[in-house]
Amino acid sequence: MGIISRGFSGRSREHNPDLPPGQYLTEDFPVLSAGPTPNIDTADWEFSIRTEFGAVHSWSWDRLHELPIDDIDTDIHCVTRWSKFGTSWRGVSLDTLFADVDTSDEYVMAHSYGGYTTNVPLADLLDGKAWIAFEFDGEQLDPEHGGPARLLIPHLYFWKSAKWIRGLVMMDDDEPGFWEQNGYHTYGDPWLEQRYS
Ligand SMILES: Nc1nc2c(c(=O)[nH]1)N[C@H]1C(S)=C(S)[C@@H](COP(=O)(O)O)O[C@H]1N2
Ligand SMILES: [Mo]
């Protein structure tokens, strides 16, 4: 390479190449929830994947923790323009959870405890791109941030990372979830600034 962009070293962090357009960096971890924080006991918690054939694959809290657990170090980007670098999480890869799932559908609706929904293409959940995360910064995930467990899809705007995740339902068409019905972009790539539709 050897090409250093002009003025980079003298300019402020809006020119940081890891910061998507229109974003600013924050050290805080803002809480953004459309409703109250549900109180979910891990003894009652269950996560499921439902296919177009009616098959339901489900995991209790204990069964989830018997699966291989990944350490994830990633930047996150909220559509309200904050980004946070180098967040650390632990969770189970969606590749692991989809390993035995037979589906031809290409879209997924994520459903949360409390009723939140968000849509995502299946391809964006696979190949090491998404997790069911239950630890943040070495601690159990705080309920405000989606504990006991949330979806983590760091390459898309953070509204796609459904807190208090309860299940995924396969869909043959891309249908809008909660924010997508309210004007947010159907896909939400932060590098393309796909904020609103
Ligand atoms: N269940 C649920 N998940 C959600 C939301 C929500 O309101 N409910 N808000 C989304 C939005 S808009 C963002 S930016 C992130 C915020 O996550 P945080 O509160 O941990 O920062 O969660 C996303 N996941
Ligand atoms: Mo958001």
Structure-token match 């849509």, residue found: 119
Q: Are 105 and 51 in contact (CB under 8 A)?
A: yes
CB of residue 192 inside a 6 A radius of ligand 1:
no
101 CA → ligand 2 middle, Å: 30
Topology (CATH level 3) of domain 11-192: Sulfite Oxidase; Chain A, domain 2 (3.90.420)
Q: Are 78 and 158 in contact (CB under 8 A)?
A: yes
pLDDT in tens, 34-78: 999 999 999 999 999 999 999 999 999 999 999 999 999 999 999
DSSP three-state, residue 124: helix
Structure-token match 């189970």, residue found: 92
Q: Could you tell me which residue, 15 or 1, shows the higher pLDDT?
A: 15
Q: Are 118 and 159 in contact (CB under 8 A)?
A: yes
What pLDDT, on the 0 to 100 scale, is given for residue 17? 96
Kind of pairing between the strands at 24-25 and 82-93: parallel
Domains of the chain, by residue range, sit at 11-192
The pocket of ion ligand 2, defined by CB under 5 A, consists of 32, 78-79, 159
Measured CA to CA in angstroms, residue 181 lies from 3, 174, 175, 176, 196 at distances of 43, 12, 9, 5, 10
pLDDT in tens, 78-117: 999 999 999 999 999 999 999 999 999 999 999 999 999 9
79 CA → ligand 2 middle, Å: 5
Mutate to test the pocket of ligand 1, among 23, 28, 32, 137 (most ligand atoms within 8 A of CB): 32
**Model-level pTM?**
0.94
